[in-house]
Chain A
Amino acid sequence: MNTLEEAKTAVVEEFSLFDEWLDKYEYLIELGKNLEVFPVELKTDDRLIKGCQSRVWLDVKAEDGKLFFRADSDAIITKGIISLLIQVYNGRTAAEILGDDFSFVEEIGLRENLSPTRANGLNSMIETIRKEAEKNV
């Protein structure tokens, strides 16, 4: 398995191929559509991160000191970003996750999607990933 840094660099490089904003979004929409199906029975209130904009469901499992995520959203671009987050952070240790600042999302130019508007689903998702990591240190 690649390192966290390698995974981030891969995503950042992939995004640098797109000059146009709309192409980035087209790509995220594709990623969103191809995200592993989130089981309906996991769409429970305790997994729901309710935002003013989109809703995000996040399921976290810890196995052998590593964290595994499954997630879903009702908004497709958010789902695309979730796919990136999973690509980068899945199977990492709690220490690795806590040592990271999640700034790669900003590096690929998705700052607006993480803007601290009220209860932004994605922002809260990152917060939740961090909290889960803290629980599993």
Chain B
Amino acid sequence: MDVSSVRSLFPQLQESVYGKPLVYLDNAATSLRPLSVVREWDEMSLKHNSNLHRAVHKTAVDATERYEAARAAVASFIGSASPKEIVFTSGTTQSINLVAACLENAGFFSEGDEILIAESEHHSDIVPWQLVSGRKSLKIKILPVKQKGEIEIDKLPALLTSKTKICCVAQVSNVLGVINPIKEICEICHANGTLVLVDGAQGIAHLTTDVRELGCDFYAFSGHKMFAAPGVGVLYGRQPLLESLPPYMGGGEMIESVSWEKTTFAPVPGRFEAGTQNISGVPTLVPAIELCKRLKTSEIEKEQAAIKNYILDAFAEDADITLYGNPAEREKKIPLFSISVKGAHHEDLALILDKMGIATRSGQMCAEPLMDRFGVTGMLRASFVPYNTLDEAKYFVECLKKAIKMLK
């Protein structure tokens, strides 16, 4: 599959904004949706709509089969040992909140225990832990990142103590685009008896992920950043670990039996899926995963590498541009670029680029502590996926330079 055939799968790429062809570079916020995903949603809504797991009629059985097929597809896609390790949620944020709340309710944390969080984390991997910390009097410690955006893994062993219960880190930061050494982090943490939760929101669409190879205990991601429907998320948890956790929310479907005296709970993963689930959305993970697999061609990888090299070279040449997340080895970065520009505000740049047809992201990108770390009030981010072309990258750089000139 080449880039032009990938583009033909995404109808929104034919849209224009202000009379200019849309150049969509806000993929790290949400990716566009291919026809196959929209069709799956439509089919689930128009042909197979029925509540899951409950009724015996044909439509209910069909809907349940398609929902469970998505679970199996996800398990195989991320290298999980069993679909029982896959919990469906509303997104990465809910997945992380689920782990935080269930660990708390399982009595996992005692006063004075520590949670280690990477400095480059997104708010959704910070705030749920702050909430638990507040309730349980825990201590949050920070795993720092270097000026070039890499995690200071050398400092990790010294940060771990007998009280460090869990380490939370993204596979790829949504600001820096740097691929973190998850396997190494897991090895160091596990040797200390510390669990590892990986936020895979940005990694899932760009990398080939094998949770068993990585060795993480939990892995969370969202469907909408990998071409599936919004409102669909995944939590992977190692089966014995999930089995040790109490339910997240109470409701229908998460129970085994209910009486006024005693209620018992369903086995995993159903225990964590209370109430009616996202019947139309979850099955869209199947075509989205199919597409992600098909995108792993040498032609597409070549184009993505060309985009990355073009932009890194262009930014390196411009003394006014500071790129955040600039590892010495380019293979350690996905094509996601956050910058600040001397003499030009990120909001102004984004507004002018918008009028040139380019969708970028500006602001704090839900990572305020990281903005503070780099001493900025915000950044401009352009993030690419396989439907983006080298020509778009060139147009982006050209327009960025024009915008900077306008603002200076």
Q: Please list the residues of chain A having a beta carbon within 8 angstroms of any beta carbon in chain B.
A: 21-22, 25-26, 29, 52-55, 74-78, 112-113
Contacts and interface: CB of A to CB of B under 8 A. Distances in A.
A21 B354 CA distance: 10
Nearest to A121: B347
Most buried by B among A52, A74, A113: A52
B215 to A, nearest CB: 36
Classify the interface of chain B: helix, strand, loop or mixed: helix
B264 to A, nearest CB: 42
Nearest to A74: B345
Given A53-B362, A75-B345, A78-B347, A25 B406 contact: yes
Given A21-B18, A75-B348, A53 B355 contact: no
A77 B355 CA distance: 13
Classify the interface of chain A: helix, strand, loop or mixed: helix
Contacts of B352: 22, 25, 77
A76 B345 contact: yes
Interface in B366-408: 377-378, 406-407
B402 to A, nearest CB: 9
Interface of B: 18, 345-348, 350-352, 354-356, 362-364, 377-378, 406-407
A112 B354 contact: yes
A54 B355 contact: no
A58 B166 CA distance: 44
A35 B362 CA distance: 24
Contacts of B377: 55, 74
Contacts of A75: 345-348
A52 B363 contact: yes
A25 B348 CA distance: 9
A54 B345 contact: yes
B355 A25 contact: yes
B351 A77 contact: yes
